[in-house]
Structure 1
Amino acid sequence: MFQAGEVDYLVATDAIGMGLNMDVAHVAFAGLHKFDGRRTRRLTVAEMAQIAGRAGRHQRDGTFGGVTEEGPGAFLPEEVFAIEEHRFPPIGNLYWRNGEPDFASIDALIASLERRPEPGVLLAAPQATDLAVLKRLADETWVRDRVRSPAMVKRLWAACGLPDFRKLGLDPHARFVSRVFTYLSEGRGVVPNQWFADEERLSDGLHASLTQRFVDKRTTALIRQIGADASLLPVTIGPEGEVLVEDHPIGRLDGFRFTVDPAARAADRRLLLAAAEKRLVTERGRRGEALAAAEDAALTLVDGMIVWNGHGVAKLTPGRSLARPQLVLERDLDCLAKPQREAVQARLVRWFDAMLRRHVPALIALADMARDPQATPALRVVAGELEAAGGLAPRIALREAE
């Protein structure tokens, strides 16, 4: 991913020194101590140089340094000098393990692997994980029952050589190797395809989860674009309202409301909102113009809410009378300029008035009559009472109103 340009930085352990060959410009040491399996110690100068050497490629020089200039995490001047000048203490000893193991039996194999070198510069290698697992399985009766030939000893040793990628300790890894050897020592002597499929599915799921947790491609794309020019963000809006930046979804635009993708991390929400808000002004303006010019058929009334294209744009609240409710625009429309909001308000008022005249003409006639200066005072009072009561009122109340 780093070499492909999907991420700008790598975070790694000291294992980065073991053969990494990528276009790294600088190696920053967060610390200079490690746990080597037995104790916590400072890296040797040779180890520091091996890690620092990952910076630079071909004919381009790289650089290295620490994230702190003081304390245990800082380089000593003599260490920097030794790394830059390639001056390291000579190696006085090498670890050795028998490269020609005896596969006659399990015990013969263990004995050959524990054979010590002749006195001199070679030292017996510390017990490795594969040998520790072999000893653990050698104590199992069922393993000895199945391993009765040199061929089966070789197969057992091959299984013990599986790397402990999970780093959960000897016991969990020994159980894993035991399971693999069970498949290799029975039936056709192969691991079932379904077992591989299950492991690959789990591995793919873990990889996707870790990638999303530590490498948010969406945020990486945003940061790169914003770092150049926020106004150039390639924001696109799909047919269903999905908002994307460089094909990475960042949220949805439902009507006039932008909602950040719920899968986004909390720390990214403000960035995503800022990225979208800068580029959605034009789209919202276009939708505002469309709403102000909407046909009657595009508007409906649902539970006191005026709905346009499936999105609520205004709600009815109590007004001076039943026939004259107050129409209030949804807060989502605050993003529109004032003239555009006024145009939308006027269009919705006209539509609602026409709908009332079409569906409850008698109530509208009463409202008009109550305000008709040509009508008698008594008629205006009666019409006003009927309008306020929705067209129905007790005769006694009307008689008193007269």
Structure 2
Amino acid sequence: RKGDAEDHLTLLNLLELEDVRVMAHGQKNVELLYEIARVPDFQNTYTDSHMTMLARMYSHLVRGESLPTDWVASQITRLDRIDGDIDTIMTRLAHIRTWTYITHRSAWIGSSVEPLVDGSKSWQEEAKHIEDKLSDCLHTNLTQRFVDRRAAILSRRLKDNDQLVCAIRTDGTVLVEGEEVGHLDGFTFTPSFSDGDIEKPIIAAARKGLTDEIRRRVQAVVASADPAFHLNSKGQIIWRESVIGTLGKGNSIDQPKADAKPSQMLEGDQLKLVSDRLTRFAADMPKHRLEKLYGLLDESLTGVVRGIGFQLFEALGVLPRRHVADMVQKLDDESKRQLAKAGVRIGVDVLFMPDLLKPAQIEITALLFSLFHNEFPEAGPPPAGRVAIDHVEGVSDSYWMATGYRRIGGRVMRVDMAERLAAVVRSAARAGTFRISEEMLSLAGATREQMQVMIEDLGFVKTGEEAAEDPEKPAIALFERPAKAKPMANPKAKDGKAYPGKSKSKTSLANGKAGGGKPDQAGNQSRSRKPNKPADKPIDPNSPFAVLAKLKAK
């Protein structure tokens, strides 16, 4: 027949103890003894020390007592040590697992327990904490033993063999002479273990075994077309799902600098080959992905159009109109046609290029701006396809503009939609006082409270409120264009003097003008005088006028 179960053997061993036999009378006490016999010995030795511990537990519990706190504490805390060899740690781990089992019997331990170390609130937590600590220590020691053996094997084979047999799994795991030594990601090799003495032979073995594989990868990078390289939001260059380089700030915003990721696996000439290929990618990538933007540098554009195009190019395709307001005013119809042909739309507030408002182009312009200005918002540009989002605290207006968006109040809108919103608001303002409309809310995807701030940010003023038809709803805000200040008839400077050219003084009107007097010797202007009438001449007595005069006198 099969051998007796472990709990049955433990029960028999306990009954051999006279003190236990004396207490094991009655169904309740026998059942308790059997429960204690089921406490496992994880060493599977069932030594006298284990039986002695169980007997002591029985002596307390059979009298209706809980296990003494001091005794439980001494049994558990003495196991809270990680020194010693592997066998010692395994023994402690077996003992603490036994106590983990015991502490789960709340009726045995009792509910009143003093505060324990490491923040534990119960002996159950304390035992589990020590068990985890010992398990981690055992794993580390076993791993170290395995590593020491592996390093010794590799060191010996490095001395004995000119060429090591190396294999790479599909997940990048590197095997040298059948031993797993680390992981190869692109050109970066990460040893399985980082201890200095062990790491050196592992890296040496990997370099020797991976020579052919590294050479093949370098050749593949050099031969790869630009579409084989990808970029993440931090400017890292990804090839075959591995980071092999990084973009950084270059001499201009459209020309970032590329650096190959340092690697112990690459020789000097190999590193240069990879760096040169990534440099070419960095130089060509903006031209291919922002082709319309580079059209602004076409030599066929001349004069004012060329000036606007250059500034728009440096702004990555979105430019506040106020920055080039003077040049925009000088545009004639032909110049406007040239800009339109180049893909530029002149808005009331912003000049922009609709072709650059697509997700793929926004991703690149955002990255170029971030690299040049070292501004990498955690949220990144707005999600693809979103025309409006809430403003993200800490993100600059310049970043939004470079990505094709514009902050208005607390909302960030794609510039073409922002222009539409501004046009709707201006149209409503032509009638004088206006209110927030459903069209405005729909375009901005905003609440009425957000829209109120947006309208004020667009330059309009809130003039008052009117009650809503529903008394439970908030009042309706009213807006108008800001009143234009009337020019002064004779504006004065801060010192109280009239600005030159604004009005003419009386003295200036008199100076050299008709009706004006000449200045006197002191330089003062004299008042103007009417000329004196000449004296009346006597009438000729023989003239007809003299005869008429005599008739009147009669």
Larger RCO, structures 1/2 (Cα 8 Å, 6+ apart): 1
- The bucket for the TM-score relative to the shorter chain is 0.3 to 0.5
* TM-score, reference length from structure 1: 0.44
* TM-score, reference length from structure 2: 0.33
Larger radius of gyration: 2
